[in-house]
Chain A
Amino acid sequence: GQNIDQPTEMTATEGAIVQINCTYQTSGFNGLFWYQQHAGEAPTFLSYNVLDGLEEKGRFSSFLSRSKGYSYLLLKELQMKDSASYLCAVRGKAGGYNKLIFGAGTRLAVHP
């Protein structure tokens, strides 16, 4: 079966750091993606990991451990505009045409 788990909600303070975890159990693995989704809008690509380790992109970093079926998204220097849902998605098979399987998303609220 396919299962992707992430916390439902998190809150954090402006300027702080927050880590959003994702665990997955899928029949195959060929990459893990993080997307940001503001309410009523489309998912926007944030980061992609296919090998173990940390990928850093400005204020956002993402980590992957394939042996543990675990990833996290780290957001630094939080801003109010970072209040959104963060979606963890796994691609089960290699090849650009292959589907993404999404978790339910983590709703992050950033407060002053």
Chain B
Amino acid sequence: EPEVTQTPSHQVTQMGQEVILRCVPISNHLYFYWYRQILGQKVEFLVSFYNNEISEKSEIFDDQFSVERPDGSNFTLKIRSTKLEDSAMYFCASCGLASDTQYFGPGTRLTVL
């Protein structure tokens, strides 16, 4: 069964450093998302992406964040200058044209020191 994959599973970085989180959505899906979940809190929407552009972004998704689909398979989230409060689990999700369901990847646990 096809699934969303994410790398790395765990990333530790120093405050102020740039990180890139990578996702490979399900191959025939067209809609892509990033969500985050701070430990013990709810899943929060960051950004949605369709047809090579951002469809919607939340207030969390400020100028420090960017997304890219550099080739036909990868979907990346970049945080330019990480802050302590960026420590969270970051989930990528994708959705197909014929389906209403978003399928989530296993997540990347980001720890900012």
Chain A interface residues (CB < 8 Å from chain B): 31, 33, 35, 40-45, 48, 50, 87, 89, 91, 96-105
Contacts and interface: CB of A to CB of B under 8 A. Distances in A.
Contacts of B33: 99
Interface stretch (B62-70, B71-79, B92-100): B92-100
A31 B56 contact: no
Nearest to B39: A40
B43 A102 contact: yes
Interface stretch (B13-21, B80-88, B103-111): B103-111
Given A42-B91, A42-B105, A42-B106, A96 B43 contact: no
A50 B107 CA distance: 27
27 contacts: A35-B104, A41-B106, A41-B107, A42-B105, A43-B104, A44-B104, A45-B101, A45-B102, A45-B103, A45-B104, A48-B100, A50-B100, A87-B42, A87-B43, A91-B100, A96-B97, A97-B31, A97-B48, A97-B49, A97-B50, A97-B95, A98-B55, A99-B45, A99-B56, A99-B58, A102-B44, A105-B42
B30 interface: yes
A104 B42 contact: yes
A96 B100 contact: yes
A6 B100 CA distance: 23
